[in-house]
Structure 1
């Protein structure tokens, strides 16, 4: 009887162990990534085995109608974000499957969660939050769309249910996925964030490349720590693990021999967005041509090393985040756009493959190929310095008319503190008039993104109404506030067409009626006549165009609408006492 019982126990243990294997591990050649249903089923079963240190929390509703599932791991069994902060613990947030054709993080996270729970290796001072699968929409659309990639055997599609690239959606938040992500971000307030991806570009010897928040764009307090301590640690540990890394970008603008330009993740991207919240941020980019299993295991190792240093430096990271928040509260000038500084160049050791050309089997013309039988190690250029190309001094406060509801909703979701006017009020503000802008002929991610914005600031009285919003710039979230509300910013709300209705005129005139009014204006107001005469002297075409002259007078008359091309968000430059709700 004892023998039978022992056999049953052994059989149960074997079945239990097998039940904890992921679909990736159970696949014959480890060239399989889990479906959405398999991911959720796996975590639910794991949660039943380890209910005290693991919790599944659903947030929001994605564009395909399913919630984002957050996997939370807490060694001390505390799952209240407020209590966790009071205990001075760190929060590490990991995102997986934003591009479902780049699924390594999905499968690696499933294994890592199991192993930490099973082996009782959860960090004491770090609570780990993993988004099981971000682009659920794209994951459900399973196929073979990434033709240039070496596995897995099937995977999801890059676009979501609205055909949005969700890693271009964070600042504009068109998708419900982005709204749910921001809810997670502001609820758990992570100090460190990781987004797992797969690269494209040239062929080379590395399984993984890395994007870190560009140091000139990152808060300087955090940048000093990441560049001197955290990033070197990750590179060193990954090399010892057998997955030596280089910065992402080799071959993005040509052959790797031409050098690597560090990637600039503006706020449309996940890590550019989290950087506005003063969060240390990384993107892993495993190489598309390496076997899928190696890419999964490299991602597993990277996450493990990131958790290790978060535990080791938990108190330091918390202190640095606190100092960065304080610094941003008092910061006066904010960068709004950046460009690579080609005059400043470092060097980096690069392990690649010789490139050559041979006849194309399609066209018969020369085509590029990399010869893996000819590996090399050489020193190449590394452009890792960016210069600021536009800045803005913050005002005391921004005043936002309540009519711009999406702006207000996103500010609330991002934790921006706002006050409301208690009654109708006329304020003396600096207002921007849009002097020039460039808009493409075709949309990008559903928007006609404005660039090259030039502004004409004008001090003027503006009437606001009860309930309009006042946003003071004395907050840790100042970067998000300024970068979204200053129209010239690379990913400002204006750039993403939030305010396009101000670019259109609403009133005009009938020529034959306005002719007499315009003539009378020129007699009564010599300044308008002088402007017209000066303009005609400079522009012969205007001098010979009656209709253009009539319109010139109209534009300079009291009848012309003052709201045309006027950006509606006001800048309060003085510390004015306001009657607020």
Structure 2
């Protein structure tokens, strides 16, 4: 009954104004279990653009599918220039839909939301100091790949899109590596509009429970402390209270410790490969709403609508405060000296949160005959769950004055340009003293992950040395809004660094070697002239019997400690300039 009444209210709110063309959405015209196609959504927003001067739909460019990615701006004073909007001290809420088109409720809910806020005078007032920027469908290739089966565990809609994009990339793993045209365009949108708040609408997988909506918020330990305090103390309570009043009690995303929720849940430490992990690098408060997959589609659409409605209310209410806090956070990022790169869960800190579940039980499987899990919806319960949502850094780094990136590393330079990073180039060849990393150890995945063989557990050794840089090499100073983005991508130890994503793999292969019979005499000469090297060789033989039995290994030891060994092997090419000196720029 509640779901029916809420749906009726939404349909009533969406009725077109007198004299306007029919602005009912494909979802509203359907049976409550259908979602708009990409073409239907874009055609509908074109109609909205024609009807309302307060709406402008902007094509940003072609995605991997060959179709255009659009941004729809809803601005009640008809100002569609991001710089002008910022000068007016308005807050920008960026809403993204269809990154996983099999999770489409955001597509339909946002269409109704945009229309309703233009047609309802009371709602419209909340846009006096809030501009909506909407990506109607982000993963267009996936949206065009419609089917009824790939979301195996999901209750509707009748047809939906596919998780992979036109290149079979999961776009919610592509924000840092930016392999897709979609991600390139997102970076342009994000850096153009510098949103204060970001929402990326999804549907969950996992346990069964009573809640329709779960929520991932930017992990507060990763967020600037100024913004983290506001997020925890004001913004999240407002959203949870609002959803409770709207009869959609909300719970954090069910990242369960065990097979079922009873043992507790943990926060989600989103690295920059994910949407909200990336947006946090620019002091944007991010959210990933995750409706529950087993709830009827119409309930999931309603819950998404209500959460966005509560988000607009909160941003409207706190617009001035959010603006001041972000300005402070941005200034602190400019002068911040130490940056955390990697994190781990702090299991000593726990809080209790309310949870509405279903009893987890077991019975014999009709397939295997073995014990299987099921949730008994005839046995609902209310309890308190342990929630572990504190993380502590495991790797920190001091920022340099600047990074120096050789011109040769085009893929990296292009990505920095896409993110509008401020860079300068050397006007002549220059020798500089810089801190240089050598990669001493790393692990590599044995299976392809999103088009890469990802590195992890990366260890480095820092050496200070004179290096020759060439005319055209890039100098990237860390005195800009992109500071944190630069540290997370250019420090190889970071979980989502460009090194981790294989953009520097050619340094890991030795290019020159030696012939043993030729190098024997040279090696003998080196250890005669260098008693310290001879002593190290002898000690290594004593400590390592296998090494002592290998003539080649002992020659290689001398070779690696001779001028013949290429100093660039395993040398990370990005230099860290530690002193602010005048450069020929």
TM-score by length of structure 1 reads 0.96
The 5 A counterparts of 1:44-63 are: 44-50=46-52, 52-63=53-64
Residue 536 (str. 1) matches residue 541 (str. 2): yes
1:202 and 1:252 in contact (8 A); partners too: no
Say if 1:26 and 1:18 are closer, same or farther in 2 by CA, change over 3 A.
farther
Match for residue 346 of structure 1? 351
Match for residue 4 of structure 1? none
2:401 and 2:580 in contact (8 A); partners too: yes
Show structure 1 runs of 4+ deviating over 4 A: 12-18
Aligned equivalents of 2:338, 2:109: Cα separation in 1: 41
Aligned equivalents of 2:466, 2:96: Cα separation in 1: 46
1:95 and 1:131 in contact (8 A); partners too: yes
Match for residue 162 of structure 1? 167
Aligned equivalents of 1:17, 1:375: Cα separation in 2: 46
**Which stretch of structure 1 is more off in the superposition, 250-259 or 297-306?**
250-259
Match for residue 5 of structure 1? none
- For residue 41 of structure 1, the aligned residue among 40, 43, 46 is 43
Aligned equivalents of 1:511, 1:155: Cα separation in 2: 63
| C-alpha displacement of 1:249 | 1.8
- For residue 496 of structure 2, the aligned residue among 485, 491, 495 is 491
Aligned equivalents of 2:371, 2:88: Cα separation in 1: 62
Aligned equivalents of 1:64, 1:464: Cα separation in 2: 40
Aligned equivalents of 1:23, 1:198: Cα separation in 2: 20
- For residue 274 of structure 1, the aligned residue among 271, 274, 279 is 279
Aligned positions, number: 567
The 5 A counterparts of 1:162-201 are: 162-201=167-206
Match for residue 78 of structure 2? 77
- For residue 19 of structure 1, the aligned residue among 19, 22, 29 is 22
Match for residue 3 of structure 2? none
Match for residue 106 of structure 1? 107
- For residue 376 of structure 1, the aligned residue among 378, 381, 396 is 381
Match for residue 33 of structure 2? 31
Aligned equivalents of 2:21, 2:63: Cα separation in 1: 32
Say if 1:231 and 1:13 are closer, same or farther in 2 by CA, change over 3 A.
closer
1:208 and 1:243 in contact (8 A); partners too: yes
Aligned equivalents of 1:381, 1:14: Cα separation in 2: 48
| C-alpha displacement of 1:86 | 1.2
Aligned equivalents of 1:105, 1:13: Cα separation in 2: 21
2:256 and 2:266 in contact (8 A); partners too: no
1:60 and 1:179 in contact (8 A); partners too: no
Aligned equivalents of 2:517, 2:404: Cα separation in 1: 40
Match for residue 207 of structure 1? 212
| C-alpha displacement of 1:48 | 1.3
Equivalent position SS for 1:335: strand
Residue 422 (str. 1) matches residue 427 (str. 2): yes
Cα deviation, 1:524-578, whole Å, max 9, x if unaligned, reads 2223222211211211111121111111111111000000000000111112221
Equivalent position SS for 2:269: coil
- For residue 529 of structure 2, the aligned residue among 494, 509, 524 is 524
1:425 and 1:465 in contact (8 A); partners too: yes
Equivalent position SS for 1:308: helix
| C-alpha displacement of 1:298 | 0.6
Say if 1:106 and 1:70 are closer, same or farther in 2 by CA, change over 3 A.
same
| C-alpha displacement of 1:214 | 0.7
Aligned equivalents of 1:95, 1:484: Cα separation in 2: 24
Cα deviation, 1:77-105, whole Å, max 9, x if unaligned, reads 00111111111111110000000010010
Equivalent position SS for 2:62: coil
Unaligned 5+ runs, structure 1? 1-11
| C-alpha displacement of 1:514 | 1.2
Match for residue 89 of structure 1? 90
- For residue 443 of structure 1, the aligned residue among 438, 444, 448 is 448
| C-alpha displacement of 1:432 | 0.4
Say if 1:308 and 1:13 are closer, same or farther in 2 by CA, change over 3 A.
closer
Equivalent position SS for 1:60: strand
1:194 and 1:283 in contact (8 A); partners too: yes
Match for residue 134 of structure 1? 138
1:202 and 1:250 in contact (8 A); partners too: no
Match for residue 265 of structure 1? 270
Equivalent position SS for 1:19: coil
1:222 and 1:320 in contact (8 A); partners too: yes
Cα deviation, 1:251-303, whole Å, max 9, x if unaligned, reads 46421101011111110000000000110111100000001001001101111
Say if 1:233 and 1:418 are closer, same or farther in 2 by CA, change over 3 A.
same
Say if 1:13 and 1:284 are closer, same or farther in 2 by CA, change over 3 A.
closer
Aligned equivalents of 2:48, 2:552: Cα separation in 1: 75
Aligned equivalents of 2:357, 2:47: Cα separation in 1: 43
Equivalent position SS for 2:201: strand
| C-alpha displacement of 1:19 | 2.4
Say if 1:252 and 1:76 are closer, same or farther in 2 by CA, change over 3 A.
farther
1:58 and 1:70 in contact (8 A); partners too: yes
| C-alpha displacement of 1:508 | 0.7
Residue 407 (str. 1) matches residue 412 (str. 2): yes
| C-alpha displacement of 1:513 | 1.3
2:255 and 2:268 in contact (8 A); partners too: no
2:16 and 2:22 in contact (8 A); partners too: no
**Which stretch of structure 1 is more off in the superposition, 440-449 or 97-106?**
440-449
Aligned equivalents of 1:85, 1:522: Cα separation in 2: 67
RMSD over aligned CA atoms reads: 1.5
Equivalent position SS for 2:167: coil
**Which stretch of structure 1 is more off in the superposition, 75-84 or 401-410?**
401-410
2:432 and 2:466 in contact (8 A); partners too: yes
Aligned equivalents of 1:262, 1:138: Cα separation in 2: 28
TM-score by length of structure 2 reads 0.95
**Which stretch of structure 1 is more off in the superposition, 442-451 or 246-255?**
246-255
Match for residue 221 of structure 2? 216
1:271 and 1:282 in contact (8 A); partners too: yes
